[in-house]
Chain A
């Protein structure tokens, strides 16, 4: 064993915090959380301090039922029996390239130095090497969980195990220490079982196997795994070092939050905090999944597997509401039944009804949209013909049974759009256009891959409904009305009356005032332009961006990233960069004041989408990858690595040059021209406003 601790990462690849700020202890616990897709360990310092919150979150494993259900917490391995000094100093560097946390903290006994990681090569395995200030005093390798009771514990040789019960099953951790004077190596393995209380045997076997590999071997394979992930997903921004670091932190968090096998229940805070109880919302399908579909298909597929396995619950929920098809829940946890709270106290102290669970039905389309994002990026034929087709079919059936017909067309009444300031509205443009998209995509899917159980009449009905769905578009103005009667609301421009944006306008003006005004949390219509640009009227982005953005408070953490993307496409680079900066630093700067409860995973997905779909102008389709870059003057280059079908691509956009490198034959579309090439590099140069391929 060596006591040498590897050097921390280089510039652009690290998040660094030095000094001691008691108010930041919990925030840093989230920022420095180490996760491997299955298990997340808080970034609390190894030494003890009352201000630290120390937890291990077990992905997709819930305690409790209904709205109270939450991710179960596992035994704690990353703590050592040293107390922080009375006036401690902490230096921490998170190496994003290698997924390793370097830490130096002053204790009452002297300096405690450590490195630790959650193995990407062996998900469920947490590893630490610590250089202690004195001969290691020994102590249990596992401590009881933060939020759950340890059901039992035991020893097998010098390995320790501890079990925690969860709804339907549980988690078992096994850990072992190897001590050499002042140096302690600790390996902990977490195994879960969703169907029965797990036996310690498997965890003990895994921990002994990892022990045989040893710390150095585990570190090497872990770094190799991360190198592979960055090779699939890195984004390089030349010309903005601060943004570069923030973007890499976002990508690191996304990659660490989702497993690539089995099923992935990606809660709103991933594995980095207990906020939002690990419940799964629409933003997982809409903002987290696309990044993974484009960079690490296995993780996106695992997210879809979570929905697929809960399709029976969604079918039952639709049937209970006298609908056909599948009604996916607004908040989802273990069973797939809705776990949205029905009331809550808000920031004003008032008890308010929570209507999202009953009215925010666009989640149904978002599950289908996420499935199609995966299909379009990967071309996974087995999925497209199998469970992907089933998701499209059942979500389309839901919408077909949900609409109301009159002589004006088809309507969807009584919903809430992503702009949650306006509840119980009719013909919400976002809901209706996404339902239309869902119906048409399902119809295409059935016509291409369908079996005999779907008759032509049903498909024709879907197309008829899609064609007749009211969407509020006014050809005279080029503007979509967000919902019926939106234009008759009080015409407030929040951009002019708010002291700043982003802001929670419902708290600033009061919920009643906002309900009656043209003030938006996030703009539903603009969200359409972001997610389904081919499903809105050509050239309608400009007028709708001009109309809706000044009316948007950006009180949703998803809004800045979406607007960064749209402003980039509109080539309003000042606004695009302003909103991209907000989105990319939402947790690094604790802009929400809630980072201690976990990192905003979907916001980080929106950062990637802003760069990929906005600035780089990437769009996958069944035939080709569209590329339409929009590079701010302050950047010299933007480079993204993505996977499209079976190929690994590197897209590098400069102001006058565009290079696409692929390792396989690939089709890309640039300025409406399809280019079949590869393996190799396609180089184009800007001539006037067009890209021309080098001969």
Chain B
């Protein structure tokens, strides 16, 4: 049995978290289990779970430790959390950040006040920079394809990664895009590639808005000083749709 773990708190965020967990479960081919970490029983959390016919475990203790312990189980294939776990939490969702670094499984971070969908239509996959980064997203691309979600891949060049040469714009861009597709998107038949230049966060969010993305997929690394992590945190802070973090650490 494959389980998508919906970590819900006793707030209005519980509803979108479970909605998104169900969407993720449909895409991954699993079922949803809710986990509510609280010292006292919260009625909102359990009521939302019951409304969605989702089994709900209630445990006490530290939320990160409790969610991580459950998420590490072999049957859990991904975790969904709200962007604001508690009143003391940072906007980026410290719970999500700590969990994704601990479990090496996809973590979907759901912003508050999101208007939910029952089905995802478009996934934006952010590929910035190196092939190594891209490789870790390969599984998620295949997932999106299998789930018949339209995939838009955005690749942003920064000053450091700008090409050395561009002889004829029409042909050079085509050649680069064809090679990029062949290397990294060969398993995806319906992916649209969007090339951009500039600040990765700005460009990724811009394309997400432009294509009406229902979810944005970004890479994540435990190494605190890497650009990939900084970009992911910026996107978590500012993105208006759920963000799926894919760990790149072995």
Q: Which A residues fall within an 8 A CB radius of B?
A: 22-23, 26, 50-51, 53, 268, 275-277, 279, 281, 340-341, 343-349, 352, 354, 356, 499-500, 502-504, 506-508, 554-558, 586, 591-594, 596-597
Top-6 shortest CB links A-B:
A344-B170, A597-B175, A502-B164, A275-B175, A594-B175, A341-B170
B-chain residues with CB within 8 Å of residue A354 when the two chains form the complex: 169-170
A71 CB, min distance to chain B CBs, angstroms: 13
Provide the B162-176 mask, 1 if CB < 8 A to any CB of A, else 0.
111111111111111
Q: Which of A281, A345, A504 contacts B166 (CB under 8 A)?
A: A504
Is there a chain A Cβ closer than 8 Å to B178's Cβ? yes
- Give B197 Cβ to nearest chain A Cβ, in Å: 5
Please tell me the number of chain B residues within 8 Å of chain A, measured between CB atoms. Answer: 30
Q: Which of B175-217 contact A (CB under 8 A)?
A: 175-176, 178-179, 182-183, 186, 194-198, 207
* A31 CB → nearest B CB, Å: 14
Tell which of B160, B165, B166, B195 touches A499, judged by Cβ atoms closer than 8 Å: B160
How far is B162's CA from A555's CA once the two chains are assembled, in angstroms? Answer: 11
Encode B137-176 as 1/0 by CB contact (under 8 A) with A: 0000000000000000000010110111111111111111
Is the pair B171, A26 in contact by a Cβ cutoff of 8 Å? no
Q: Is the CB of A345 within 8 A of B173?
A: yes
Q: 7 A-B contacts, Cβ less than 8 Å apart?
A: A26-B183, A343-B170, A347-B157, A499-B160, A586-B165, A592-B165, A594-B172
Contacting pair B175 A281 (CB below 8 A): no
In the complex, per-residue mask of B108-142: 1 if CB is within 8 Å of any chain A CB, else 0:
00000000000000000000000100000000000
A346 to B166, CA, bound (A): 10
* Cβ contact of B167, chosen from A22, A268, A277, cutoff 8 A: A268
Cβ-closest chain A residue relative to B184: A23
Residues from chain B with a CB closer than 8 A to the CB of A504 are 162-166
Q: Are B179 and A596 in contact (CB under 8 A)?
A: yes
A507 and B157 form a contact (CB under 8 A) = yes
Q: A275-B174, A504-B162 are in contact. List 13 more A-B contacts (CB 8 A).
A: A26-B179, A276-B171, A277-B171, A344-B174, A346-B169, A347-B166, A349-B194, A502-B164, A504-B164, A504-B166, A554-B165, A592-B164, A593-B176
A507 and B163 in contact (CB under 8 A), knowing A347-B195, A594-B176, A597-B175?
A: yes
From DSSP, what is the main secondary structure of chain A's interface residues?
loop
Give A499 to B161 CA distance when docked, in angstroms. Answer: 10
Q: Which of A26, A500, A554 contacts B182 (CB 8 A)?
A: A26
- A508–B163 Cα gap in the complex (Å)? 10
Contact of B168 (CB < 8 Å), options: A276, A343, A586: A276
**Which residues of B lie under 8 Å from residue A344 when comparing CB positions?**
169-170, 173-174
The answer to whether A507 and B176 touch (CB under 8 A), given A268-B167, A275-B171, A596-B182, is no
In chain B between 59 and 116, which residues have their CB closer than 8 angstroms to a CB of chain A? none
Who on chain A is nearest to B159 by CB?
Answer: A499
- Smallest Cβ distance from A600 to chain B, in angstroms? 8
- Min CB distance, B14 to chain A, in Å? 38
Spell out B's residues near A (CB within 8 Å).
131, 157, 159-160, 162-176, 178-179, 182-183, 186, 194-198, 207
Give the complex CA separation of A679 and B183 in angstroms. Answer: 55
Provided the pairs A344-B173, A345-B173, A348-B198 are in contact, do residues A23 and B131 lie with their beta carbons within 8 angstroms?
A: yes
B195's nearest neighbour on chain A, judged by CB, is A347
Query: How many Å lie between the Cα of A50 and that of B183 in the bound state?
Result: 10
Instruction: Identify which of B168, B175, B179, B197 contacts A507 (C-beta below 8 A).
Output: B197
**Interfacial chain A residues near B159, Cβ < 8 Å:** 499, 508
Q: Are B186 and A51 in contact (CB under 8 A)?
A: yes
By beta carbon, the residue of chain B nearest A357 is B170
Give bound CA distance, A341 to B131, whole Å: 30
Q: How far is the CA of A207 from the CA of B165 in the complex (A)?
A: 42
A555 to B163, CA, bound (A): 9
A281 touches B168 (CB 8 A): yes
Q: Which of B166, B176, B207 contacts A555 (CB 8 A)?
A: B166
In the complex the two chains form, is B163's CB within 8 Å of A593's CB? yes
Residues of chain B within 8 A (CB-CB) of A592 are 163-165
CB-based contact A557/B176 at 8 Å? no
Inter-subunit contact A346/B173 (CB<8 Å): yes
**One of A268, A340, A591 near B165 (C-beta < 8 A):** A591
CA distance A382 to B40 in the complex (A): 100
Q: Cα distance A194–B82 when bound, in Å?
A: 65
Which B residues lie within 8 Å of A503 (CB)? 162, 164
Q: How far is the CB of A382 from chain B (nearest CB, A)?
A: 35
Q: Which residue of B lies closest to A269 (CB)?
A: B175
Contacts of B157 in A (CB 8 A): 347, 507
Closest to B161 in A: A593
Complex-state Cα separation, A417 to B218, whole angstroms: 42
Q: Which of B160, B164, B165, B196 contacts A349 (CB 8 A)?
A: B196
> Roughly how many angstroms separate A500 CA and B178 CA in the complex, as a whole number?
26
Closest A residue, CB atoms, query B176: A594
Q: Is A268 a contact of B182 with CB atoms below 8 Å?
A: no
What distance in Å separates the Cβ of B164 from its nearest Cβ neighbour in chain A? Answer: 4
CB-based nearest B residue for A352: B169
Across the interface, which residues of A come within 8 angstroms of B174, CB to CB? 275, 344
Q: Nearest Cβ in chain B — how far from A524, in angstroms? A: 15
Report how far A279 CA is from B160 CA in the complex, Å: 31
Report whether B195 and A348 are in contact in the complex, using a CB–CB cutoff of 8 Å: yes
- The residue in chain B whose Cβ has the minimal distance to the Cβ of A281 is B168
Q: CA–CA, A507 to B166, complex, Å?
A: 10
**Min distance, Cβ A552 to any Cβ of chain B, angstroms:** 13
Inter-chain contacts of A268 with B (CB < 8 A): 167-168, 171
- Which chain A positions have C-beta within 8 A of B179? 26, 593-594, 596-597
Q: Which residues of B contact A593 (CB under 8 A)?
A: 163, 176, 179
**Measured between alpha carbons, how far is A281 from B171 in the docked complex, in Å?**
12
Minimum distance in angstroms from A170 CB to a CB of chain B? 25
Knowing A53-B182, A349-B196, A508-B159, say if A356 contacts B176 (CB, 8 Å): no
In the assembled complex, the Cα of A347 lies from the Cα of B194 at a distance in Å of: 9
For the complex, give the distance between the alpha carbons of A507 and B173 in Å: 12
